[in-house]
């Protein structure tokens, strides 16, 4: 092993709650954002971009709530266009906290200048300077992003960056907004800025790479090699289109190849798999099995030759230890005779802290599951904990369902839902319908009761663990009034899991639309 000489620390700027949330179907409620923000703080990220305060009252409140709760443990950042009202709104959301940052952006590439902004080069420079100065009048920590920097002419990029720093920007972020860069190209862009921007030493250079060509992580690491000292990224690479650079991959590349990069991060890496699961279950965006670092197969060695090598010495085929990223395999754990103490101890070993009431609820579900299922795995326990922590006060609840299906029969479903907004006896509603299959019939019956029609955009069921009696994890995405909403649930009965997942998505769509001010 080469000895690592660490010279520098890279700031990890997480934008799961802002750029990640912009991903269709990934919108999060305020309690969900707060839970993710707490997990990000425990993970040790330096900066949390909590949202875009001007975008909506909900975004503003979310940034404010994250700032109030965590603004002394991490830098909390709010995004703003080069507009006075955006910057004032961001400043308002961050007011009074110990570590605020305002992130101001303006596109600089010829294509954005001509078609989006219809602004000449010098107008862009003036707007950038004016708004960085304005932001600086509210707080000392200002980030400036020339949007679509990777497609901006280098001399003009240097001019904008130099003037933004002179106006008070303390971090200059160089976004590859459309995922167009390649590693060598991006390395050259950062190197060029270092050579040609006279005051570059007064600001931290940051990267923000999108993954349209699958190069976001490689480009971010190339930027670090060229001297960038902040990386913007998201958990599981969540984000618009193909997403952003994945935080877990950046962090583990820097840790595993510290001998090469000579830098470090402050990330508490054993928390990586836990936060990956949290973000996946909150957004409904599943993590592919072979995803680097946090995928279910990331530490599985199937080939005999690999297993033989691993038995001799793990380092033959393993460059990272599963425990260093908090990876949990498919260990068979407890049976139905395991007591509450053993269960509590296992939950703690898996990295979860539950209060007594939540622990009791998950334990009750565990006992019910152990009655139905021969083997209960760690993954089952995690699914039960996730399910418990995602319980929301939904208006519509599933009380009962029955389906009929088979060859030569017409698929039918009968459903009973409770409308919790009504307190009397008349809050139970029944419907029976036929469908193209039992799942379709269940979904239609629920829509008929609620009186809405949504379009199913995505539907997946997968086993939580191995074995024929595995729990099914159902994930749905629907479109309602032009927006996407997700829902997720687990059960040993996949029709029940699907029904509950669909109902969650409907509840989410209804509550978001009910919360909107009338226009
Ligand atoms: O991709 C992008 O350019 C952005 C900016 C707002 C930094 O998200
Ligand atoms: Zn972005």
Residue 52 alpha carbon to ligand 2 centre in Å: 12
Please indicate, yes or no, if residue 296 is contained in any of the structural domains. Answer: no
Same structural domain, 375 and 441: no
Residue 79 alpha carbon to ligand 1 centre in Å: 9
Closest-CA residue, ligand 1 atom 2, reads 177
Q: Of the bound ligands, which one is closest to the alpha carbon of residue 82?
A: 1
Which of the listed residues 112, 128, 208, 209 should we mutate to test ligand 1's pocket, taking the one with most ligand atoms within 8 A of CB? 208
Same structural domain, 407 and 372: no
Closest-CA residue, ligand 1 atom 4, reads 177
Q: Which residues fall inside 5 Å of ion ligand 2, going by CB?
A: 19
Which atom of ligand 1 is closest in space to residue 145's alpha carbon?
A: 7
Q: What is the pLDDT of residue 517?
A: 41
Closest-CA residue, ligand 1 atom 6, reads 105
Please indicate, yes or no, if residue 428 is contained in any of the structural domains. Answer: yes
Please indicate, yes or no, if residue 408 is contained in any of the structural domains. Answer: yes
- Per-residue CA distances from 19 to 49, 157, 267, 452 (Å): 8, 23, 20, 30
Same structural domain, 278 and 333: no
Please indicate, yes or no, if residue 44 is contained in any of the structural domains. Answer: yes
Q: Of the bound ligands, which one is closest to the alpha carbon of residue 103?
A: 1
Residue 458 alpha carbon to ligand 2 centre in Å: 24
Which atom of ligand 1 is closest in space to residue 147's alpha carbon?
A: 3
CATH number of the domain enclosing 236: 3.20.20.70
- The boundaries of the domain holding residue 212 are 8-283
Same structural domain, 92 and 201: yes
**pTM across the whole model:** 0.84
Q: Of the bound ligands, which one is closest to the alpha carbon of residue 109?
A: 1
Residue 139 alpha carbon to ligand 1 centre in Å: 21
Query: Which of 260, 283, 306 delimits the end of a domain?
Result: 283
CATH number of the domain enclosing 448: 3.30.160.270
Per-residue pLDDT of the chain (519 residues; tens, 9 = 90+): 445 555 699 999 999 999 999 888 888 989 999 999 999 999 999 999 999 999 999 999 999 999 999 999 999 999 999 999 999 999 999 999 999 999 999 999 999 999 999 999 999 999 999 999 999 999 999 999 999 999 999 999 999 999 999 999 999 999 999 999 999 999 999 999 999 999 999 999 999 999 999 999 999 999 999 999 999 999 999 998 999 999 999 999 999 999 999 999 999 999 999 999 999 988 988 899 899 999 988 887 666 666 666 667 777 878 999 999 998 766 656 777 777 888 888 888 777 788 888 899 999 988 888 888 777 887 788 888 877 776 667 889 999 999 999 998 999 999 999 999 887 778 999 999 999 999 999 999 999 999 999 999 999 998 887 777 788 889 999 999 998 898 888 888 999 999 999 999 999 899 887 654 433
Which atom of ligand 1 is closest in space to residue 18's alpha carbon?
A: 8
428-434, strands of its sheet edge to edge? 396-404, 412-419, 428-434
- Per-residue CA distances from 159 to 103, 109, 114, 199 (Å): 19, 13, 18, 11
Rounded CA gap, 76 and 487, in Å? 28
Residue written as token pair 């795995």: 377
Number of domains in the chain: 3
Q: What is the pLDDT of residue 304?
A: 62
Q: Is 212 exposed, middle or buried, given 0-12, 13-18 or 19+ CB atoms closer than 10 A?
A: middle
Q: Are 498 and 439 in contact (CB under 8 A)?
A: yes
Provide the token pair at 334.
């407890």
Query: Which of 246, 267, 283 delimits the end of a domain?
Result: 283
Which of the listed residues 112, 145, 172, 209 should we mutate to test ligand 1's pocket, taking the one with most ligand atoms within 8 A of CB? 145
Question: Ligand 1: residues within 6 Å at CB?
Answer: 19, 105, 145, 147, 173, 175, 177, 208, 210
Which atom of ligand 1 is closest in space to residue 107's alpha carbon?
A: 3
Same structural domain, 222 and 334: no
Same structural domain, 457 and 509: yes
Rounded CA gap, 101 and 265, in Å? 20
Residue 208 alpha carbon to ligand 1 centre in Å: 7
Read off φ and ψ for residue 473, nearest 5 degrees.
Answer: -105, 110
Please indicate, yes or no, if residue 274 is contained in any of the structural domains. Answer: yes
Closest-CA residue, ligand 1 atom 5, reads 147
Comparing C-alpha atoms, which of 26, 50, 25 is closest to residue 40?
A: 50
Q: What is the pLDDT of residue 488?
A: 86
Closest-CA residue, ligand 1 atom 1, reads 177
Q: What is the pLDDT of residue 4?
A: 53
Residue 49 alpha carbon to ligand 2 centre in Å: 11
Same structural domain, 166 and 181: yes
Which atom of ligand 1 is closest in space to residue 148's alpha carbon?
A: 3
DSSP code string of 182-206: -HHHHHHHHHHHHHH-TTGGGSEEE
Secondary structure string (H, E, C) spanning 280-323: HHHHCCCCCCCCCCCCCCCCCCCCHHHHHHHHHCHHHCCCCCHH
Residue 175 alpha carbon to ligand 2 centre in Å: 7
Rounded CA gap, 345 and 388, in Å? 18
Please indicate, yes or no, if residue 199 is contained in any of the structural domains. Answer: yes
Same structural domain, 71 and 165: yes
Which residues, at least 6 apart from 32, have a Cβ–Cβ distance to it below 8 Å? 282
Residue 177 alpha carbon to ligand 1 centre in Å: 6
- Per-residue CA distances from 448 to 55, 320, 414 (Å): 33, 51, 11
DSSP 24: T
Which atom of ligand 1 is closest in space to residue 149's alpha carbon?
A: 3
Rounded CA gap, 164 and 184, in Å? 26
Residue 15 alpha carbon to ligand 2 centre in Å: 9
Rounded CA gap, 197 and 199, in Å? 6
Query: Which of 389, 405, 421 delimits the end of a domain?
Result: 389
Same structural domain, 405 and 367: no
Residue 210 alpha carbon to ligand 2 centre in Å: 6
Q: Of the bound ligands, which one is closest to the alpha carbon of residue 52?
A: 1
- Counting Cα atoms < 13 Å in the Cβ hemisphere of 183 gives 10
Closest-CA residue, ligand 1 atom 3, reads 177
Please indicate, yes or no, if residue 321 is contained in any of the structural domains. Answer: no
Same structural domain, 184 and 39: yes
DSSP bridge pairs for 172: 144, 205
DSSP bridge pairs for 176: 209
Same structural domain, 191 and 99: yes
Please indicate, yes or no, if residue 288 is contained in any of the structural domains. Answer: no
Residue 241 alpha carbon to ligand 2 centre in Å: 10
Same structural domain, 25 and 78: yes
């Amino acid at each position: 092993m080469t000895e690592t000489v660490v010279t520098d620390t890279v700031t990890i700027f997480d934008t799961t709650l802002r750029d990640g949330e912009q991903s269709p179907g990934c919108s999060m409620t305020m309690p969900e954002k707060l839970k993710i923000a707490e997990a990000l703080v425990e993970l040790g990220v330096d900066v949390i971009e909590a949202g875009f305060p001007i975008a909506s009252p909900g975004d503003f409140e979310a940034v404010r709530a994250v700032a109030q709760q965590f603004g002394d443990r991490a830098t909390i950042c709010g995004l703003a266009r080069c507009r006075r009202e955006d910057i004032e709104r961001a400043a308002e959301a961050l007011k009074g906290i110990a570590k605020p940052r305002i992130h101001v952006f303006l596109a600089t590439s010829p294509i954005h200048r001509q078609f989006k902004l219809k602004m000449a080069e010098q107008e862009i420079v003036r707007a950038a300077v004016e708004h960085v100065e304005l932001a600086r009048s509210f707080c000392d920590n200002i980030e400036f992003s020339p949007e679509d920097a990777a497609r901006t002419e280098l001399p003009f990029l240097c001019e904008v960056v130099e003037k933004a720093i002179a106006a008070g920007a303390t971090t200059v972020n160089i976004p590859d907004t459309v995922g167009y860069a390649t590693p060598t190209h991006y390395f050259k862009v950062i190197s060029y800025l270092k050579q040609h921007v006279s005051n570059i030493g007064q600001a931290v250079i940051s990267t923000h790479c999108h993954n349209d060509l699958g190069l976001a992580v490689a480009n971010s690491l190339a930027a670090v090699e060229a001297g960038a000292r902040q990386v913007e990224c998201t958990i599981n690479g969540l984000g618009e289109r193909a997403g952003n650079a994945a935080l877990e991959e950046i962090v583990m590349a820097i840790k595993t190849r510290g001998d090469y990069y000579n830098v470090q991060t402050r990330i508490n890496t054993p928390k990586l798999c836990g936060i990956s699961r949290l973000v996946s279950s909150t957004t409904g965006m599943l993590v592919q099995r072979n995803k680097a670092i946090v995928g279910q197969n990331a530490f599985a060695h199937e080939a005999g030759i690999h297993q033989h090598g691993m038995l001799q010495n793990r380092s033959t085929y393993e460059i990272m230890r599963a425990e260093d990223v908090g990876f949990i395999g498919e260990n068979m754990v407890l049976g139905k005779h395991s007591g509450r103490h053993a269960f509590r101890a296992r939950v703690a070993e898996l990295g979860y802290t539950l209060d007594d009431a939540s622990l009791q609820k998950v334990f009750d579900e565990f006992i019910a599951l152990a009655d139905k299922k021969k083997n209960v795995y760690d993954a089952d326990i995690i699914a039960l904990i996730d399910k418990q922590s995602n319980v929301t006060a939904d208006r519509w609840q599933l009380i009962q369902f029955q389906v009929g299906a088979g060859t030569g029969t017409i698929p039918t479903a009968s459903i009973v839902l409770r409308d919790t907004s009504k307190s009397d006896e008349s809050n139970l509603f029944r419907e029976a319908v036929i469908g193209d299959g039992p799942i379709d019939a269940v979904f239609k019956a629920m829509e008929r009761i609620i009186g809405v029609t949504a379009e199913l955009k995505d539907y997946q069921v997968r086993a939580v663990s191995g074995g024929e009696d595995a729990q099914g994890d159902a994930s749905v995405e629907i479109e309602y009034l032009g927006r996407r909403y997700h829902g997720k649930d687990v059960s040993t009965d996949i029709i029940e899991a699907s029904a509950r997942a669909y109902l969650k998505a409907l509840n989410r769509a209804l509550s978001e639309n009910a919360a909107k001010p009338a226009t």
